[in-house]
Every structure is written in C-alpha cells, then in structure tokens.
C-alpha cells in the first residue's frame, strides 16, 4: 500500500470513529422522554433498548439514524481515497472499510459519552448496505424470520452479523467484491457478538426478554455490556 493510501485509511478511521461515537439512542431518548437510555433495560443505546424505554417511533428513528451512521463512513472513505489520488477502486475500499469498522467501534465505545455505547447492529448493517446493497438487503428477510420465530431481538443480532461476514468472505473469494469488505465484516461481526455476551448468558438461562419487555430502570446503571 502506498503512503497516500495509508493516510486515507488513517483519516477515514478517525472520521469514522467520530461518526460512530454519535449516540442517537441517547439523543433521541433525551428528546422524547428526558431520560438516559443507558439507565434502563439492557443499558445499551441501540434500537431495541430505545423501543423498550421510549417507544416504537423513537426506536425506528434511532435505527435509521444508526444505519446512516454506518453508511456515511463508507462513502467518506471512498471520497478520501479519491481525494488522495488513489485510482484503484479496490484500494479505495480499504479506506472505506477502515472508516466503517472505526464507526462500529465508536458506537460501542463512544468518546463523547464516557465510552458507554451500544452493540452496533444497525451501524454494522448500514456499512454492509453501503458496501454491497444486494447482499445486505437479501439478508433482511432472514433477520425478519429469526425475529418472528423467536420474538427475541438479540437472537437475530447475534446470528445475522456472522452470516453477513461469511457472505462477504465468499463474495471476495469469488472476486465479486473487494477483500476490504470481508476485512470489515469479520471483525465487525465478532465485535457485535462480543457486545451481546450478556444476552447470550440470558438466552442460555432462559431469561432474555422478548420484544416489548425488559425496559425497567436499572438498579445500578453501569457500562452497557449486554
């Protein structure tokens, strides 16, 4: 990789992390209910916990904004690659992937909010959508079936990202899409599953709340890990 490409990757990652650190779940919940969503339910800042604490409309708004938070760094990275004179499309993809992964990390550990964030499902999906719209949209019905069958959002959140990663690796191996997309999807999926580790514990124990439940105030608010 050239020095200019490394510069584009680094700058894209910094910008992506800043974008990811914007916590729309906190912002929307404060605007609609005047509460910090991290003090309720799972303590996370994403769509599911916002629905539990602030209602479906607020949750949908957060979902769309968080998806946008994943889309934006991909195009920022591509734009930076072009600005830095990187001619190869696949090379520019590395800058886009770096920004997208940094956004996922920023969502989980946001610098603006004491590093207490969410689980990055929507922002990860947004990045995948920008990278390969057909593959990402094709997996939406799969996610819907999982949610409909289980009525538990975390089951979908744990299951779908690894599927996305596997699809992106397969597409790269077949020279259909850049390896940069796979290099984003694999660690992003691993991070998303890691952020759901307490959900996994509750699923094993049979105590994970179904959709619409589990929005009670936390007894002692702490960093969201589940």
| Tens-digit pLDDT profile for residues 124-147 | 999 999 999 999 999 999 999 999
Asked whether residue 172 carries a pLDDT value surpassing 50, the answer given is yes
Residue 12 lies in a domain: yes
Residue 153 lies in a domain: yes
Residue 86 lies in a domain: yes
For the chain, the domain total comes to 1
Asked whether residue 41 carries a pLDDT value surpassing 80, the answer given is no
Residue 78 lies in a domain: yes
Q: What are the C-alpha distances in Å from 203 to residues 56, 70, 199?
A: 23, 27, 6
Which range (16-20, 99-103, 205-209) has the least confidence? 205-209
pTM above 0.95, yes or no: no
Average predicted confidence (pLDDT) for the chain: 90
Asked whether residue 216 carries a pLDDT value surpassing 60, the answer given is no
Asked whether residue 226 carries a pLDDT value surpassing 70, the answer given is no
pLDDT computed for residue 47 by the predictor: 84
Residue 220 lies in a domain: no
Residue 213 lies in a domain: no
Residue 43 lies in a domain: yes
Asked whether residue 61 carries a pLDDT value surpassing 70, the answer given is yes
Residues of the chain above pLDDT 70, percent: 93
The predicted model gives 16-27 an average pLDDT of: 95
217 falls in which pLDDT band (50, 70, 90)?
Answer: low
State the residue for tokens 């209910």.
33
Asked whether residue 53 carries a pLDDT value surpassing 90, the answer given is no
- Degrees, nearest 5: CA angle 9-109-151: 110
pLDDT computed for residue 225 by the predictor: 36
pLDDT computed for residue 73 by the predictor: 98
The predicted model gives 38-63 an average pLDDT of: 86
Residue 168 lies in a domain: yes
CA atoms of 109 and 41, how far apart (whole Å): 18
For residue 40, what are the β-bridge partners? Answer: 217
The predicted model gives 177-203 an average pLDDT of: 96
Cα R_g (the chain), whole angstroms: 17
User: Which residue range(s) make up the domain with 148?
Assistant: 3-205
């Amino acid at each position: 990789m050239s020095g200019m490409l490394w510069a584009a990757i680094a700058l894209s990652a910094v910008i992506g992390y800043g974008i990811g650190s914007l916590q729309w779940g906190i912002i929307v919940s404060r605007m609609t209910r005047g509460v910090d969503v991290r003090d309720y339910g799972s303590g996370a800042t994403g769509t599911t916990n916002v629905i539990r604490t602030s209602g479906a409309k607020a949750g949908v708004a957060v979902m769309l904004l968080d998806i946008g938070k994943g889309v934006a760094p991909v195009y920022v990275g591509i734009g930076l690659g072009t600005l830095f004179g990187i001619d190869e499309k696949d090379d520019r993809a590395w800058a886009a992937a770096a920004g997208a992964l940094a956004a996922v990390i920023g969502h989980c550990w946001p610098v603006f909010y004491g590093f207490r964030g969410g689980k990055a499902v929507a922002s990860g999906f947004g990045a995948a959508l920008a990278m390969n719209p057909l593959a990402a949209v094709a997996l939406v019905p799969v996610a819907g079936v999982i949610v409909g069958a289980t009525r538990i959002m975390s089951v979908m959140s744990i299951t779908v990202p690894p599927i996305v990663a596997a699809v992106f690796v397969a597409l790269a191996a077949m020279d259909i899409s850049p390896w940069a997309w796979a290099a984003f999807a694999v660690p992003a999926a691993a991070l998303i599953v890691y952020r759901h580790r307490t959900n996994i514990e509750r699923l094993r124990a049979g105590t994970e709340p179904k959709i619409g439940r589990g929005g009670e105030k936390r007894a002692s608010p702490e960093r969201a890990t589940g």
